[in-house]
Structures are given as structure tokens and as C-alpha cells.
Structure 1
Amino acid sequence: MIDYNRKLTLHRELYPFDDINISIESDRGRILSAPALRRLQKKTQVFPLELNAAVRSRLTHSLEVSQTARFIAKTILKKSKGKYGLDKLENAFISTAEMTSLLHDIGNPPFGHFAEVAINSWMSTKGVELFNSVVKVSENNEEFKQMLLKDLCNFDGNAQAIRVVTKLQRLNLAYSQIAAILKYTRGAYEDKAGKNDKLFYLKKKPGFYYSEKSIVEKIKKEINLEDGCRFPITYIMEAADDISYLNADMEDAVDKRILKFDDIYRLIKEECEQMNETYLLDLVKKFYTKAKEKESEPYQFNLFLTLTRAKLTHALVEHVSNIYLENHEDIFNGKFNYALLEFDKESKYTKAVEVLQNISIKYIYNHKDIQTLELKGQKILTSLFENYTPLLKLSSDEFEKLVKQERISCFLSQRLIRRLSSKHIVAYKDAVKNLDKEDKEKFEIQEWYYRARLLVDYISGMTDDFALNEYKTLEALI
């Protein structure tokens, strides 16, 4: 039975409210005032280290996604006509979709998605070497050690988002709001799901780390979410993200002078003809002609984009809302193993989306200027990890002295520890103090894991410009 009163609940870690609307507004306030959200204004969407404020950052992208999610949620409510317990939960349903979308990139590192590759590459080579050299284990604990290594080598912005809101920022959000951020349902310490897994799509990427395993399990229990299943509103956030990308990348490419208006039109036309797609082709032909006739050259692309975006967004919102309700039971139970926008492969809307995605991949993401900036970002992040390596070479006893502000023999480590965020250090200390010290070997495995997490938290939380400045500073010192 579909009843959203079972999903949109009052449960939260501390100080729960007794009114759902007050609870929702409290979450909205906590999210909008979170420092991690503000930092998104200086994190890359597509173009690293961008100085042009008109080009999208992670924050401006997230604002657009939240608006689209709000539109989808309101459309679903209109079509559902007060059923499923939603008549008294309209504000909660809309706001949860909107705020989840605002938070969806909060765990992303500087310099875009390429940074995830850089972090995992460093951790899979240098990080593994350090772990093996610092922490010696017997055969009894080897499997546990390898599990934590796998977790550390699977950094993902989605999993980091769960860590940010629960451990690093401690926003104390409602469990429903946290669950909605959980885009993927597999732990980073778990193996990838096989193609025969019924929830293969939902597990294709890590959704949370070992460090957040207990809180994720607690949340799932409280809101009746089965293992491997997704919170229903997460499907709305995902669809809003997919829709928001479509025109945004092309607009930014024109602002960056990578492509011109006529290039955009030509590429869409060619891709549509190649794929035998007519819906989008008819749309762009109509609005291209109108833009050329009605506006002077500097404003032609603006008119074309505005008309195309409005028409396409409205159509896609209607489409994904219908898919949501047509598959409502599976979506409510979190067992719908597809993205809403990818479910109907033969739909004209799915094909239109594919056309625009293909153009972005071929002519924007793979542009030489972007790849050059990504390589710079990779160099910066790798160098930052290298510069902070002395902290990972210490024994657990030495590092314990450091966090207690006691002196140790490694002069460099004493200076480096002071550069880390105090909030991140507190998160490390809280995790370690709860470990069982009786099993010395297992304690050291876990302590080093949380120490590595501390470093990943710090570096992945940097803005583009802060990471660049930190890189320049540390390279000059060394």
C-alpha cells in the first residue's frame, strides 16, 4: 500500500519536532545556511577555475535542479489528486524534493567529476602502499583490511554527500531528507552488483561509505527502506538533475566561446538526422527560425535557448511525472531499477535527451580546453595528497598525540595537522573514540581508515580556488 506517511516522517537523530511542516522548514533552514552549500559557488560544474560568473558553478546548477525538482513534485501531486496520504504532505513532498536537489552535489570535490578519478587513482596506488606499510595485520584481519581499502578507493560525490550532512556538517536533518540524498544504495566497501541483480542500476555506484554504514542502516529501519532500495523522492531529484543538464552545458559552451549559436543548431540538426529523431529536430528548427527573425545577433541564441528550454523542460517534466505514477508502487518501495528519464527507450523524449547528451560528450566535455583544465586539477589534487602524506605515515600513537596537540618527532606533521579543518578533526576523533582498543590490530586498521578519511574529507571539501592556493603554498614550502 502506498502511503507517504510511512516515508515522510518526523524521525531525526536529535530533537525531533512533532509537526511535519515545522520539521520540513527546519531542514530547509539548516540546508540553506550550511557552509558546504555556500562552497558550491566556487566548485566546478564543467569548466574548472572559471572566472566568468555567468558560467555555471555547482551552486547555480544545484539551484536549477532544485527548481526543476519542485516542478516535477508539484506535477506529480496534481496528477495524484490527493491520494497516497499526500493531501496532508504536499509541502513536505515538494520541499524534500527541492532540498534534496539542492544538496545533491554537496559532496563533490573541486575541479569536477574528473577529480573523483584523481582521488581514487591516488588512493588505489599511493594510499594502498601507505596502508600496507603502516598497518601490519595477521591473516585473521586481512579480509577486514581489504574491505576498508576498497571503501577508500571508491570515493564518490554521492557517498561523500551523506558523510557531509551526517558527520562533517552535522545538519541533523530529518531521516527522510537524508534518505532522499542516497542516490545509490550500495556501500563503497561492497562489490559491484552483477547484471542479474534486480537492483543493478541502483547499485551501479557507491552511495555511502563504511564510516556511515550504521547511520544509513538506522535511517533505513526507521523509514521502512529495504536493503538496496531507494527513497521514492530520490527518483525526482535524479530526473531533475538529468533535465537541468540538457541546455545548461550548451549555454555555458557558448558563453565560453567553445561553440557558437549556429554551431549548436547545426550539431543538433545533424545528430537528430543521424538518429532519425524528429521531435527535437522540429522544435529547434521552429525556434531557430524565430530567433533569427525576431532578434538581432547578440540575443538570437538567448531567445532560441529560452524557447527550447521552456518547451522541452515542460514536456520532460510531464513525461517523468507520468513514468513516476505509472510505476508508483515500485518507486514508492524503492525497487524501480531505472532512472525516470531512461525508462522508456522508445520515447521521443528519451531520444531527444540522448541527442543533447551526445553533443555535450562529443563537443563540450572532450574539448581540449576543458581537458587541459581537468589535467591541471588532477595535478593539484595529486600534489595535495602527496604533501599531506606525512600524516598518513605516522603510527596510530603518534597521530593520537598530534590531535591532542602534543609534540612528536615529525616536525612537518605538526605543521600539517594545523592546516586541517577543526570540524574534520572532530569527526575523526569521534569515530576513533568509539573503536574497541582491546583488539590492537583491528583498532589500527580502523584508525588508519578514519585518518585517511580525514584527509579525503579535507581535500574533497576544498573549493577550486582554495585547492589551487593550497597547492601553491605547499609546493613553495617544499
Structure 2
Amino acid sequence: MNWSKLLNANRFGQDTRQLDPVEIRSQFQRDYDRIIFAPAFRRLQNKTQVFPLPGSVYVHNRLTHSLEVASVGRSLGRKVANYLMSIDDGPSSHLLEELPTIVSTACLCHDMGNPPFGHSGEDALSRFFRDGKGQALKQEFDEQQWKDLTYFEGNANVLRLLTHQFKGRRKGGFVTTYATLASVIKYPYASTHSQGNKYGFFSTEQKNFQEVARQTGLNLQADGSFNRHPLVFLVEAADDISYLLMDMEDAHRLKILSYEEIIRYLAPFYEADESLKQKFEEVQKEVTDKNELISFLRASIINKLVNASADVFVENYDAIMNGTFQDPLYKHLPDYLRENMKRCKKVSVEKIYNHRSVVKIQLAGYHVLGTLLEEFVGAAMNPEASYSQQLLSLIPAQFEVREGDLYNRLRYVLDFISGMTDIYAVQLFRDIRGIDFEQWPV
């Protein structure tokens, strides 16, 4: 792989680049702005990250999480750009200056394909087909289509959202640059290539993915997968760093974890760094607010992990560029950082993700999304029925649930449901079940 192709600024869906002689933004800055102003991005503010929304204590949602990941990703992109300019490997410096923007934009996109109710929402959509009433449809689909349905993957849904031409919309979806699209694709292979639920595109977007791979020079490997775009490693690292620490910070604000517990879990990150340890001791003398102290630790640890992750990228640069490096960057961090991250992840699973408030959201997600799928899949399969027509009238025209083969109709149903916010999904569930209808006839 080479940077001249990897940083392809041409746009998916545009045959020729449209240049504005007075344009003050680069092509990659336009990508960033396009995502920021997109309704699909804005809807993330009402999608659960981990904890219930909203509440008297405001915790992270998908939107705030994505913005913070983008901030961390920008720092990682800057570190790597500085390295590439120092070794003079890559295109001209003005393009390398764009690395932070490309990484940051990809970070903004990384959760846009996730359904309501966090990761339990993905599981709910998958289990409807894998274990629920949708299981009876298996014989209607080929192997890849069935794998797509039984393992809903938010990462694959991002590529569909960004590139699919929905009815009434322009060709190319968001018409983003090839470099940005390639940096979003965390798993560059189809569902049938994966042993589990991690893959990069649905069968409907396979040609779109192949075009992105061709335009950015991602190489096909012997096992049928493609090389990752190098910037994907930075996007992945930014997400790993962010959610690990933000979830613990939220848990403290919600009184799930005490201040003493947080310090005990985070202390190993700075105990090995004498200067950071000393600085924290000085801050403790001045600051008494425990939330502020935890925020200071979080910021300091993020900075440490950003620098260490960028170092791992640099140390494995040749292997990344030739496609032989496959691991997340955190797996190659110094032992004490890697072990501390593993320890925090273990605590998060035991004390945060299995907390009563989180489990209640997961159960709600299963029930609400399972019911919506049952209703709308049934309607898409029998669109001529009177009740089906009423249900389908609730779906925006951009989702062509009445046309095409069954797989494509169900894909549009999943587009509709996965794009909902938590609040909208619950309200629609109540409406069609008659649970919370305000205008009953008297």
C-alpha cells in the first residue's frame, strides 16, 4: 500500500471531482463537516452508549462518545503525520497534514450504523432471525444474506449508510472521499469470511466496498479478505481508549463505582510514571472535587495511551503498510498499560455492563426491537394486506420496503429500525401496541 492512493480525495459516487475555485476547505474537511451536519449523526444524541438516557446525571450517549473518540483520533492522526513527515514517507506534506482530519471524521462515523439500545440492540436484531420468528425464513436466502441477517453488524451498517443510494437521494450516499470511507471499514471482509459477527459490509454493499478498496489500493489477501487501511488502526485505538475510561467516569457519576474504587483501578496507569504521579498528588492538594480529580486522571491517562498507541503504530509501520500487522494497537502496548487496560475492561464487564440499570436497558431493547421487527418484517412479506399497508405507511419513502426481492425489503426494514433513536423506538412500540395512545375515542 502507498499513501498516494490511501489518501484518495476523490468522492464515492462522483465520476469527476467538482472543484470550487474559492473553496477554503480541503476535501477531507468537507467530509468532516458533512458528517457533523448529518441527521444520522445528530440522532446519536438519543442513542444509548451504556447507561439509560436521559437522567438527572448526564452520562455519555453515542453522540458525545463519538465526539470524544474523534478528539482522541485527531491526536493520534497528528502524531502519526508528524512521524511520516519526519521520515519523508508518503505524499507531500500538505496531504499528510490531513491525516488528523481523516481519522477524526472516521471516528465520527464509527457508531452511526449502531441501532438503538447500544450493543444489545445489535443482538436483538440478530436474534430475531437467528433464534426468533425470523428463523423460519432461512430457506429464502443464500449463505451470505442469511449471515448478514443473523449477525447484524453496526460497522457494516455504517458503510451502507454512507454509500447506499436510498430512494430520492443522490448517487453515492454521503459522497465522502475514498480515504475517509476506507478509514471507517474496520473489518475488510464479508460476513461469510467471519467466524462471528464482525465483518465490514453487507452483500448489498459488496461492490461498493470493492470500489473503495480499488480506489485506495487495499490489497486482496490469500484468504479472501483485504488489507486494512492503515488509519483504521488509529480509529480503532481512539475508540478503545475512549470507551474504557469514559464508562468508568460515568459509573462514578452514577454512584455505581466509588471514588476509592476508581482510584484503585486507575492508579496502576500512573504509578509507573513518577512525573504523572507527582502531578496528581499536587492537584489533589488544590482540588477537592472528586469528579474533577477523576477527570484530571482520565485526561492524563488518555494522553499517555495516545502517545503509547502512536508509538506502537510507528514501531510496526512497515508491517502495517504491507498488510501483515492485524492486531489492535493496544495488544502491543507496554505490558503495564496493556494489563491495566485488560483489568479495567474486566471491571467494566463485572460492575458496569452487568449493573441493574444497564441490564434493564438491554431487556427493553430486546423486547422493543423484537416486536418492531416482527411487525414490520411481517408487513414487508405481505405488503398487500390492509394492516401491512398501514404499518408500511409509517416507514419513510426512502426505504423501499414494497419493492425488490425479500432480502432487499428486509434490509430496508432494518435500515428503518436501526436508524431509530431509543426514544422513537419506544414510542413507536407503544403506539402500534396501543399502550400509550393519547387520542383514544371517547
* TM-score, scaled to structure 1: 0.80
Structure 2 equivalent of residue 293 of structure 1: 285
Q: How does 1:199-348 map to 2 (within 5 A)?
A: 205-227=198-220, 228=225, 229-268=227-266, 279=271, 289-290=281-282, 292-296=284-288, 299-302=289-292, 304-344=293-333, 347-348=335-336
Partner SS state of residue 65, structure 2: helix
Does the CA-based 8 Å contact 1:176-1:223 persist in structure 2? yes
CA displacement at 1:311 relative to structure 2: 2.2
In structure 2, distance between residues paired with 1:381 and 1:284: 46
Which residue is equivalent to 1:403? none
1:354 equivalent to 2:342? Answer yes
Residue pair 1:283, 1:308 contacting (<8 A) in 2 also: no
Does the C-alpha gap of structure 1 residues 279 and 424 become closer, same or farther in structure 2, counting only changes over 3 Å?
farther
Aligned residue in 2 for 1:463 = 421
Q: 1:4 to 1:284 in 2, by over 3 A?
A: closer
Q: Secondary structure at the match of 1:113?
A: helix
Change (3 A) 1:382 1:156: same
Structure 2: runs of 5+ lacking an equivalent: 438-442
Aligned twin of 2:375: 387
CA distance in 2, matches of 1:38, 1:324: 32
Is this contact kept in 2: 1:384–1:471, CA < 8 A? Answer: yes
1:40–1:58 CA contact under 8 A, matched in 2: yes
Aligned-partner Cα distance in 1 for 2:81–2:273: 31
| Aligned partners of 1:3 and 1:84 also within 8 Å | yes
AA of the residue aligned to 1:187: A
- 2:77 aligned partner: 73
1:98 to 97, 104, 119: 104
Q: 1:391 to 1:117 in 2, by over 3 A?
A: same
Structure-2 separation of matches of 1:95 and 1:324: 18
Deviation at 1:250, TM superposition (A): 1.4
Alignment correspondent of 1:443: none
1:114 CA displacement? 1.1
Give the Cα–Cα distance (whole angstroms) in 1 for the partners of residues 175 and 56 of structure 2. Answer: 35
Q: Once the 2 structures are TM-superposed, how far is the Cα of residue 77 of structure 1 from its aligned partner?
A: 1.8
Greater share of helix: 1
Q: Residue type matched to 1:87 in 2?
A: S
Relative to 1, partners in 2 of residues 1:58 and 1:25: Cα closer, same or farther, differing over 3 Å?
same
- Cα deviation digits, residues 314-351 of structure 1 (max 9, x gap): 2211111111122112323444210011124x522212
1:326 to 1:465, Cα distance in 2 relative to 1, 3 A: same
| Residue of 138, 144, 147 corresponding to 2:144 | 147
State the AA in 2 paired with 1:235: F
Residue 293 of structure 1 and its aligned partner are, at CA, apart by: 3.4
**Deviation readout 1:93-118 (Å, 9 max, x if unpaired):** 12110100011000011110011111
Q: 1:314 to 1:149 in 2, by over 3 A?
A: same
**2:440 aligns to what?**
none
Question: Is the alpha carbon distance of 1:156 and 1:52 closer, same or farther for their aligned partners in structure 2, counting shifts above 3 Å?
Answer: farther
2:116 aligned to which of 106, 110, 116: 110
Aligned to 2:194: 192
The 5 A counterparts of 1:129-144 are 129-130=136-137, 132=139, 135=140
Tell which deviates more after alignment, 46-55 or 161-170: 46-55
Task: Judge conservation of contact 1:265–1:288 (CA < 8 Å) in 2.
Answer: no
Displacement of 1:389: 3.5
Alignment correspondent of 2:181? 178
**Structure 2 counterpart SS, 1:211:** helix
Q: Is the 8 A contact 1:65 1:102 kept in 2?
A: yes
- How far apart, CA to CA, are the structure 2 residues paired with 1:315 and 1:278? 9
Query: Letter of the aligned partner of 2:286 in structure 1?
Result: K
Pair 25,369 (structure 1): closer, same or farther in 2 beyond 3 Å: closer
**Alignment check: 8 A CA contact 1:105 1:158 kept:** yes
Deviation at 1:392, TM superposition (A): 3.7
Counterpart of 1:200 in structure 2 is none
- How far apart, in 2, do the equivalents of 1:282 and 1:380 lie? 50
Equivalence map 1:13-24=2 (5 Å): 13-14=13-14, 16-17=16-17, 22-24=26-28
Give the CA deviation at 1:92: 2.5
Number of equivalences: 417
- C-alpha distance in 2 between matches for 1:425 and 1:146: 23
- What residue identity is the alignment partner of 1:307? F
Deviation of the 1:148 alpha carbon: 1.6
Equivalent position of 1:8 in the other structure: 7
Counterparts of 1:119 and 1:451, CA distance in 2: 15
Q: Secondary structure at the match of 1:89?
A: helix
Q: Is the 8 A contact 2:381 2:406 kept in 1?
A: no
Q: Answer with 232-241 or 354-363: which moved more.
A: 354-363
Q: 1:280 to 1:261 in 2, by over 3 A?
A: farther
1:370-385 equivalences under 5 Å are 370-385=358-373
TM-score (norm 2): 0.87
Q: In the alignment, is residue 156 of structure 1 matched against residue 153 of structure 2?
A: yes
**8 Å Cα contact 1:45-1:57 kept in structure 2:** yes
